[in-house]
């Protein structure tokens, strides 16, 4: 994501240097100047970092309406593969660097079948352009008829839901038989990748944190380590490194408050469970004589051990209980907002995943506007994020913006040092009150 901070520096470095010459020394004020997107013209030089693509809100679960933590609102499907490819073609025609990230989700995206993963499907089209394509799935529709197509589609990564290692609880969270169907799909895809002599798509585990599973995470770690010791993994070290890089997804949705982990649950999870699990992964990787890359900044590390938060641990844990994952972060603003979109099945576009989940402040529709036009028309709004809708922003998005902010602050310090006027100020700016 360095290209985003590079663009901001290109846009605003001259203005920031002028402010320094006029006597402005405060890092917060200089960061405010440096991170301003209002000089950005997406029609002249479009920058794209991320496009979220929810192609359906329909699901494949059997025997119940949905997974217990699903709070997704139904959206009528209007988009076709042609509409989606046309939208991206306009991006590519702008000369955009094609190495941006597209994440396809649902509902269950595999319900689209060959329209998604066939030779003329969306994934194949995007992958041919050099775009990184991820898909989120529960894997339960993977079978011997479609697994080869999925692997050969050009899919870069596949994030699958696996919240708990207890089979009965897993099936209770999802649907009867889901535990075995998911494991069979992982085995099938892994075996077919081995036969095809490819490491793509990489397979990652998604874990939604609820009161049902947050106290069983250590057991899930034991389960995955044991799985990584099986022949299917020892023959494929890349599979081990991806399986252990789990993605923690904090629970969302107003109707899910009954599923929220308690203060005590979060305290135990962050202070005791994660350190124990880190020790177990360290021991496993030591046996494997390879590096443990799991507990880095962008994976399942303890967020309270980083520089993400400015509040006390007690305040942050209290925020977690209320789903306010971004309230006390050191993030000054959402630096990525003018470079990303999240699109729903009816074509409505939103600034990000969280805005889309809650369907708050649509910025337009891709049937009528291109990516560049959507950004240009809403630049003032995007430039002012975060706002009152952003306190429940997912941890990974917060982490990304905090890292970007650190880079901008390093640049500011370099300029101040060169000017000989670096003044001691607070280590990180404060997020403005919403």
CA angle 241, 126, 160 (to 5 degrees): 35
Count CA atoms within 13 Å of residue 360 on its CB side: 12
- Mean pLDDT over residues 256-263, rounded? 82
Which DSSP symbol is given to 198?
-
Instruction: Inform me whether the pLDDT recorded for 296 exceeds 60.
Output: no
Residue 367 pLDDT level (bands cut at 50, 70, 90): very high
Give the integer Cα–Cα distance in Å for 124 and 156. 11
- Mean pLDDT over residues 290-308, rounded? 56
Q: Is the pTM of this model over 0.75?
A: yes
Asked if 179 and 169 count as a contact pair (C-beta separation under 8 A), the reply is no
Better-scored residue on pLDDT, 251 or 56: 56
**pLDDT value, residue 272:** 87
Better-scored residue on pLDDT, 232 or 390: 390
**pLDDT value, residue 370:** 93
* pLDDT tens-place string over residues 312-359: 778 888 888 877 777 777 778 889 999 999 999 999 999 988 887 778
Rounded to 10 degrees, the C-alpha dihedral 260/262/266/269 comes to: -90
Give the integer Cα–Cα distance in Å for 363 and 351. 7
3-state SS, one letter per residue, for 285-304: HHHHCCCCCCCCCCCCCCHH
* pLDDT tens-place string over residues 87-130: 999 999 887 776 789 999 988 899 999 999 999 999 999 999 98
**pLDDT value, residue 425:** 44
Q: Which segment of 258-262, 292-296, 370-374 scores lowest on mean pLDDT?
A: 292-296
Residue 434 pLDDT level (bands cut at 50, 70, 90): very low
Instruction: Inform me whether the pLDDT recorded for 366 exceeds 90.
Output: yes
Which DSSP symbol is given to 26?
-
Better-scored residue on pLDDT, 27 or 392: 27
**pLDDT value, residue 52:** 93
């Amino acid at each position: 994501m360095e290209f985003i901070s590079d663009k901001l520096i290109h846009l605003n470095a001259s203005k920031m240097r002028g402010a320094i010459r006029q006597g402005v020394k405060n890092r917060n004020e200089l960061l405010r100047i440096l991170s301003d997107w209002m000089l950005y013209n997406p029609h002249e030089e479009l920058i794209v970092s991320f496009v979220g693509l929810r192609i359906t809100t329909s699901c494949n679960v059997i025997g119940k309406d949905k997974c217990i933590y699903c709070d997704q609102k139904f959206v009528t499907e209007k988009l076709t593969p042609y509409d989606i490819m046309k939208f991206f073609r306009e991006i590519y025609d702008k000369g955009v660097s094609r190495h941006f990230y597209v994440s396809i989700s649902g509902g269950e995206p595999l319900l689209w079948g060959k329209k998604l993963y066939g030779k003329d499907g969306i994934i194949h089209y995007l992958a041919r352009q050099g775009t990184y394509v991820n898909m989120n799935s529960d894997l339960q529709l993977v079978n011997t008829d479609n697994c080869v197509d999925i692997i050969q589609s050009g899919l870069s990564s596949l994030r699958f839901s696996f919240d708990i290692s207890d089979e009965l609880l897993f099936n209770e969270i999802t649907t009867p038989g889901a535990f075995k169907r998911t494991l069979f799909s992982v085995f099938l895809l892994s075996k077919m990748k081995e036969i095809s002599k490819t490491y793509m798509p990489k397979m990652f585990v998604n874990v939604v944190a609820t009161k049902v599973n947050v106290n069983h995470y250590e057991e899930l770690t034991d389960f995955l380590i044991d799985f990584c010791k099986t022949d299917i993994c020892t023959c494929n070290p890349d599979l081990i490194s991806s399986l252990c890089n789990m993605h923690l997804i904090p629970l969302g949705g107003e109707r899910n408050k009954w599923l929220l982990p308690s203060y005590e649950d979060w305290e135990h999870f962050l202070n005791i469970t994660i350190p124990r699990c880190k020790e177990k992964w360290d021991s496993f990787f030591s046996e494997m004589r390879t590096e443990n890359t799991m507990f880095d900044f962008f994976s399942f590390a303890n967020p309270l051990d980083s520089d993400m938060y400015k509040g006390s641990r007690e305040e942050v844990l209290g925020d977690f209980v209320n789903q306010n994952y971004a309230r006390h972060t050191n993030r000054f603003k959402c630096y990525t907002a003018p470079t990303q979109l999240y699109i729903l099945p009816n074509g409505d576009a939103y600034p990000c995943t969280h805005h889309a989940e809650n369907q708050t402040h649509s910025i337009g529709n891709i049937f009528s506007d291109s990516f560049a036009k959507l950004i240009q028309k809403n630049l003032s709004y995007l430039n002012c994020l975060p706002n009152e809708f952003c306190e429940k922003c997912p941890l990974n998005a917060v982490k990304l913006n905090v890292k970007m902010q650190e880079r901008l602050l390093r640049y500011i310090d370099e300029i101040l040092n060169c000017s000989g006027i670096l003044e001691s100020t607070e280590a990180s700016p404060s997020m403005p009150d919403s």
